[in-house]
Every structure is written in structure tokens, then in C-alpha cells.
Amino acid sequence: MPYYWQAVGGQLELIRKRSPINEILGSADTNEPTKVALQQIVEARKFAIDVLDLPDNGSYRTYVDLERSAVVWNVIAAKEFAVDPKTWCFPFAGCVSYRGYFDESVAHRFSAYLKVNGFDTAVVGAAAYSTLGFFEDPVLNTMIDGGGQNGASIILHELAHQRFYLKDDSELNEAFATAVEEYGTGLWLTRIGEQNAATAYRERMKQRTHFSDLVNNQQERLRVIFSRPISNEEKRTAKEAAFELMRMEYEVLKESWGGIADYDGWFDRPLNNAHLATVATYRRWLPGLRWLLETQGLNRFFSEMELLGELSLSERRDRMQLWNQGANSLHEVVEIIDATSER
């Protein structure tokens, strides 16, 4: 019950502090960077409705400055010798692979409790918080503090959750919203004439995909280790060696990027199964969904998502695996073309 009370308290804070964005934009007390960022949100929201067929409702028409760096802190956990994250079940959202707290210290206390009980854990601050349209969610300072197109991307992601959400399937829900976010952001930047920004964004997404592949490969490596008929101590040693190998693979990957160090912070800590889950939950099935969206178009994409909801989990994963294979085949063709053109 205390968990639900803190969630209710956090939601009430958001409701109580909301102000209409048009009032914030018209106020002499609003600084220029905030005005620019909120105007971008207004334009991106209209693009989301008009072009991406995302919900047109009361969400993201108001603004709240929480005066902190995250709206909630999510606790992710996985067993010491398991890759898949622990799930928690809630009345509206169903079962999800994280537990969110509006108070960072409480999140860390819960993380410490899970560690004592044998779990690998991670605490991650979140810039966005969504009630899936149950309430009229506001824009938050945490969404726009990153600058650039960050706020617009978050709005596309969160509105995508309101367009489609399937209970008890965090990996599908987050991959779907991320697919819409990435596809929509690139398209939006191009539509508003920010071609250089669109090109730079797509390059960052390629790097993010390479990083995600690194995480997925590490998860598969650990699945093999954890399935072996060896002692727990031997598994711990092999697990530690696997993470060291992953760090070396990252250095090679970073070199291929020309030394870009965007993910150094992610590696600059002791890593565990829960840290892998923070990435895999969003991106394990993303390649196939992006492939489907880009090759079939929005209408077919949304229709396929609705059809997934009628399948069992195993049937759903079989379908999504086929899409991932389609994406991999396309990726291989592109690599061959690129290699040929460089000769």
C-alpha cells in the first residue's frame, strides 16, 4: 500500500502544478530557452496528430517545472543468474519490468532491499511519465532539459504509448513506442527543414542500434553461461569475464565511430543483468518493428500491432522474430552495398 500512496502523491503533484503551455509562452517570466523548447513541443505534438495519426487529446497541453532532474526513478531487477527482468503487476498498466518511485531515495532503498534478496538491480531516472491517457499528462521540465529535439522525441514516444499499449508486454510496448519515436523524429526534422539535424539524428540512431546489438549479444552470451550445469561460483566467474569482454567489444565499437564516447557513462560503473535489461526492454524487438514501419507504412504498422494483441505471447514472439530477421536481412544487403560503393 505505501507504494501506491507515493504514486498517488506524485500524480497529484503533477496535476496541482500544471499550467497551460500557451500561458507559459505568453508570460514575461518565462526564460527564452524554455519558450523555444515548449514551442517546439507544440509543433511536434501537432505533427504527431496530423502526420503520425497519434491521439489528439488533453495530454501535453500543460507544463510543470518539477525543479529536479527526473520525474520518477525506476528500479529494474533481474536474478543473479537470469537475463530477463523481474516484473511487477499493477491495476492499469498490467505487468511491467520496472517499479517507479517519485522519490529517488525511496527507489534506492527498494533497490538495496532487492540486492539483499539476491537480485541484480539498477536505478534509472526517467525524463517522462505517462498515465497512458488516463490523465491529461503535462509536459515536464525533465523532457526539455536535454535540449535539441529531445522534447519532441519524448512527446512522440509517449503519445505512441497512448496509441497502442498491450498489458503484460513491456518489451513490445517500449519497442513500439521507440520505433514511432525514431521514425517520427527523423521525419519531423526533415519536414521542418532541419536537414542537418535530421542527418545527425539518424547517425546517432545508428550508433544506438550498434550499442543495442552489443547489449543483446551480451544477454545471449549470459543465457548460455547461466544454462550450463556448473556451480554458482563458476557462473559468477564466467559472468564477470563476459562483462569484461563486453567492455572490450565496446572499445572496438567506439573506435569504429571515430572515438565518439556517448556511451562511456553507461560503462563507467559495475555492470549487471539489470543494466542490460534497461536497454533490452526498449530495443530487443526494435529492429523488426522499424523494418515493418519503414517498409509497410504507418497504417499497416498500426494494424499489425492490433493483430499482435490477439496472439498468445509465444505466437507474438514468433511473429516479432520474423520481423527482426527481415530487418537483419535488409541490414546485410545495405552493408554489402556500402562495402561495394567504397571500393
pLDDT tens-digit profile of 312-332? 999 999 999 999 999 988 655
- In a domain? residue 167: no
In a domain, 261, yes or no: yes
Question: CA 256, CA 178: separation in Å to the nearest integer?
Answer: 25
AA letter at 58: G
Tell me if residue 101 falls in helix, strand or coil. strand
Quick one: how far is CA 148 from the chain centroid? 18
pLDDT at 4 over 90: no
Q: Which amino acid is at 131?
A: T
Q: In this predicted structure, what is the pLDDT of residue 330?
A: 64
pLDDT of residue 98: 94
Residues counted in the chain:
343
pTM score, whole prediction: 0.90
Is the pLDDT assigned to residue 340 strictly greater than 70? no
pLDDT of the residue at 336: 39
Tell me: pLDDT of 59 over 60. yes
Confidence of residue 334 (pLDDT cuts 50, 70, 90): very low
Q: Mean of the pLDDT values across residues 187-195?
A: 92
Q: Is residue 252 part of a domain?
A: yes
pLDDT tops 60 at residue 338: no
Mean pLDDT of 161-172: 94
CA separation for the pair 80, 236 (Å, rounded)? 9
Task: Decide if pLDDT at 341 tops 50.
Answer: no
**Position 18 in a domain:** no
Would you give the DSSP letter of residue 86?
P
Mean pLDDT of 262-279: 96
CB 197 within 8 A of CB 161: no
Question: Could you give the 3-state DSSP secondary structure of residue 120?
Answer: strand
State the chain's mean pLDDT as an integer: 92
Long-range contact set of residues 84-90: C-beta below 8 Å, sequence gap at least 24: 84/277, 85/273, 85/274, 85/277, 85/281, 86/114, 86/119, 87/168, 87/170, 89/168
- Domain membership of residue 218 as a residue range: 179-343
Question: Which one, of 291, 296, 301, 286, lies nearest residue 334 by Cα?
Answer: 291
Is residue 189, in this structure, part of any structural domain at all?
yes
pLDDT at residue 119, rounded to an integer: 98
Angle between helices 170-191 and 32-50 (to 10 degrees): 110
pLDDT band, very low/low/confident/very high, at 29 (cuts 50, 70, 90) = very high
Q: CB neighbours (10 Å) of residue 179?
A: 25
Q: Output the pLDDT for position 129.
A: 85
Residue 337 has pLDDT above 70, yes or no: no
Percent of the chain whose predicted confidence (pLDDT) is above 90 = 86
Is residue 329 in some structural domain?
yes
Identity at 47, one-letter amino acid code: F
pLDDT category, 122, cuts 50, 70, 90? Answer: very high
Rg of the chain over all Cα atoms, to the nearest angstrom: 21
Residues 194-244: tens digit of each pLDDT: 999 999 999 999 999 999 999 999 999 999 999 999 999 999 999 999 999
Residue at 268 is within a domain: yes
Give me the sheet containing 119-126, strands edge to edge.
99-101, 72-79, 119-126
- The string of pLDDT tens digits covering residues 276-311 is 999 999 999 999 999 999 999 999 999 999 999 999
Please count the other Cβ atoms lying within 10 Å of the Cβ belonging to residue 227.
Answer: 10
Number of independent structural domains in the chain:
1
Mean pLDDT of the 46-53 span: 97
pLDDT classification of 73: cutoffs 50, 70, 90:
very high
Q: Is residue 112 part of a domain?
A: no
Paired with 77 in beta bridges are 121
